[in-house]
Structure 1
């Protein structure tokens, strides 16, 4: 079968890799306090795949044979494991359903096209036979963008883009690269780096997500403050639609009517299958530093992030955790010995003497990239802002550790699920003036939801992306579930948080897209007229509802 890489079917990441707490002495007491579970108790692992009830494929022999003719016999399959891998993303809802053997509908066939021509032929066949196509990149989505409609009776194709994974061309004078949509983040960067370039896009899911997936969900990366998010980076597109090929030329700017490029961004496969993108790339920076800082409290941290965003500074990363997430970060640190442990104790003693409440301290990471002189200048400008707000510089050590561990956090969800707790994330963006009230009211809504379900819960937050007019707040929440109906309990908490976003001037998602998880709030976010416009596009491009139906809008 194909050598396309996939995550393990039951959880995040690579088989055999997971979160371990034994070398982190602060973690166990932190988790007991936060969600009331004993991390030392025997975990309950996921079921064996042999126990999974995989519905039979409804694809006819003739249909499967026709797909095989297009992609080759080794690149079309009805194998049960392959179909389950392509059924869900990696939200807590997805992972709980997999563990509970809940698979009401799975794709009937998984295909791996090698090129755009094959995608066009698959599209033509699917429309002619009234089948459904769901595009699949890395499988990291957390809002239900991948799952089939449970009541769907037509044949469902999961179109895995993993074979289309090459950097096709770099226009070095224009700083543009044309890249196939199925390339995973690390593979793309390896190809770009070999020629001295980088896209600069590093979402949390980087190791297990694709360029096409980023575009289809309007992804943002950790360095979006400098490089922009994927919507800023994407200049040209090739999109296979029923009976058509949509081509958006890589123009730096255009005033030719409503933006077709923008319509494809965030469309989750509903307006076609993205096969290629031309994106702006940058020369690898001569110097890169990520420094750690401490703020006295959340208010001073938010004020500093605002002032950096509206200054002449252009850091690549501006991230700051609230006190609760800072406590979590400290709990995942390995035991400090020798000089480093003594320095940490001395620093905290010094801060206490200065009147800092260590329970309110906020940890920040700020990144700088460019020439040595530019990095020095940026650090100076940012340093003046931080000094004004009383921040303490921690140096390069914490930043280096952040860089090493930045893609590992999702493994923690599986660890907690094994021990009877559920954890997930919700993120939003709002104007600077609304951030603090939004933050306070989200916490109040989450805690009210925990009381409603009668479970001990935790919520924490970090500011992850700064923009001139506002910022993204990224909330992580966790609770001990009752083991009877954890999804119902999750719905109470998740809904409370999302509704608080809307009620307090935030968007329903800054960079995780809509899928089915957020669809119920879409009209609150973009207005009924806006939803009408989106519906009109879907109906025009896909009158037969063959392209990933049921996502973004709930009217269908």
Structure 2
């Protein structure tokens, strides 16, 4: 067992190798139960139960550089700090961490508390030829926070999480100024005093930060309308090696190319996002939901498409194929499941009508309602602070806030929240587990989906002897879905990354071949960089490179990410 120990409250620590809190690492009993379930449900050969690692097992090379004594913020070369800032939270990161492979650990970790601290670190780094990697919650799944430091005197991980305030709220315009290091729960707690929320809930909500969301164009979990952090951002402020860059706070503008777009999705390659203004809203007390099951997957796809093209804008329109429904213990009868949820700050009748219409559409495509329709009015709840279930859970999943606690949607929500923790257990028993997501037009989706099923399944069987692939729609647009695939395969311990690379390459190449995007909301980082360069015009990449030369003339900002 792991010897990671933590205290409570402010002393609680994240695991040095795994997703999430160290005190939530799986017990041997939990791992045995999951092992039995995976072997039985998926038919995998018997999996080993490997001992969980300890920090004592990790050997680090000494830091190549030391932070200057006169640096204005805290900076350290402590072993644990360096180890915990080496990787993000992808499968390949967990595997390397599990096996104690931290060869690319940063040399220095700095903790700025204000913009002048950030500028001081960048000034020192530019003069000392030190690469700087902005670090939020460490939840990247595309190699966004790792840097091998080749060609540099050292690498500094710039941890922004001490810049975690919401210093200003404009209740009249429903907007808030948020510092880049504030996590989802910290933002909600501070907005609660104003009866408002930033209703953006990525799966990493508990740990990821506002600046990280902006830098990666993070997707939330509203199926329509508010799908990305882009939909909330009014303006952005960043500190770059060339100086501070701040966009004007506006509800909208037609004045030339949008300057926010140079920072949204910039992934730390141009500078460090220190704050921004974001649209906020009150807690919606009115909810309506239903669950519909389909015997035929393509009937469910057709129903989902018609619902969004009817412009009903459901907050939740999540389609689970039969494998996804089974994996998450929502349905075991081979049916595909469509979870529908609507919400309103005004009243129930409009969303009741929208839900009824969505159900009618689903039934016209062969769907059968298994739960609901049900409605909820929370205007009389004791909790009028505006935090609702989001703040109480610490997860902020919109399924909880929209769909309530029980039934298929509740089962899905619980599985969704726990999924990253399950990855920790799966890695420890030699199960290759990963996800990839994309977006494509409705007319191209059938061909893409069939090709993904064939190429990825074939790659898993060739590399691992078996494999399991499931799909869900995380978001649905009028012109196409955002399918999200989960794959599991029995890995050979010691060869996990080699097997993963082959399977990942098959998936990524197929997305490119069928005109889909390499990423809908997981960002580019280093993992998706080459395929991203295939996706966008070369002259556009030249423009981005020119922007980088202007803002980062010494090329110290997160080298290798995005560009």
Give the structure-1-normalised TM-score.
0.88
Could you tell me how far 1:27 is from its partner in structure 2?
8.1
Could you tell me how far 1:452 is from its partner in structure 2?
2.9
In the TM superposition, what are the counterparts of 1:273-352 in structure 2 within 5 Å? 273-330=272-329
User: Are 2:53 and 1:47 aligned?
Assistant: yes
Partner Cα separation in structure 2 for residue 399 and residue 478 of structure 1: 23
Could you tell me how far 1:18 is from its partner in structure 2?
4.6
Partner Cα separation in structure 1 for residue 436 and residue 462 of structure 2: 19
SS of 2:440's partner is strand
> Which residue number corresponds to residue 20 of structure 2?
13
Could you tell me how far 1:182 is from its partner in structure 2?
0.5
Could you tell me how far 1:177 is from its partner in structure 2?
1.0
> Which residue number corresponds to residue 357 of structure 2?
381
Partner Cα separation in structure 2 for residue 486 and residue 243 of structure 1: 42
For structure 1, the residue ranges without an aligned partner over 5 or more in a row are 334-343, 349-357
Partner Cα separation in structure 1 for residue 107 and residue 32 of structure 2: 44
For the 8 Å contact 1:113–1:119, the answer to whether it is kept is: yes
Distance 1:23 1:481, change over 3 A: closer
User: Are 2:493 and 1:483 aligned?
Assistant: yes
Distance 1:380 1:23, change over 3 A: farther
For the 8 Å contact 1:291–1:398, the answer to whether it is kept is: no
> Which residue number corresponds to residue 107 of structure 1?
106
For the 8 Å contact 2:142–2:523, the answer to whether it is kept is: yes
Deviations along 1:226-255, one digit per CA (max 9) or x if unpaired, are 423101211111100113110111211112
Deviations along 1:87-118, one digit per CA (max 9) or x if unpaired, are 10011111111122222221111111111121
SS of 1:516's partner is coil
Distance 1:23 1:487, change over 3 A: closer
For the 8 Å contact 1:226–1:317, the answer to whether it is kept is: no
User: Are 2:264 and 1:230 aligned?
Assistant: no
Could you tell me how far 1:400 is from its partner in structure 2?
3.0
Could you tell me how far 1:520 is from its partner in structure 2?
1.5
Deviations along 1:115-145, one digit per CA (max 9) or x if unpaired, are 1121122222222222211111111110000
User: Are 2:368 and 1:392 aligned?
Assistant: yes
Could you tell me how far 1:401 is from its partner in structure 2?
3.5
For the 8 Å contact 2:464–2:489, the answer to whether it is kept is: no
Give the structure-2-normalised TM-score.
0.87
SS of 1:208's partner is coil
Could you tell me how far 1:14 is from its partner in structure 2?
1.1
In the TM superposition, what are the counterparts of 1:203-214 in structure 2 within 5 Å? 203-214=202-213
Instruction: Tell me which of 334, 343, 346 is aligned to 1:369.
Output: 343
SS of 2:300's partner is helix
Distance 1:326 1:403, change over 3 A: closer
Instruction: Tell me which of 37, 44, 47 is aligned to 1:36.
Output: 44
> Which residue number corresponds to residue 339 of structure 1?
none
Partner Cα separation in structure 1 for residue 348 and residue 245 of structure 2: 42
In the TM superposition, what are the counterparts of 1:378-457 in structure 2 within 5 Å? 378-393=354-369, 394-395=371-372, 397-457=407-467
Partner Cα separation in structure 1 for residue 14 and residue 142 of structure 2: 17
Deviations along 1:146-203, one digit per CA (max 9) or x if unpaired, are 0012534422111111111111212112121111111111121122233211111111
Distance 1:9 1:374, change over 3 A: farther
Aligned residues between the structures: 518
| CA RMSD, 1 decimal | 2.3
For the 8 Å contact 1:149–1:550, the answer to whether it is kept is: no
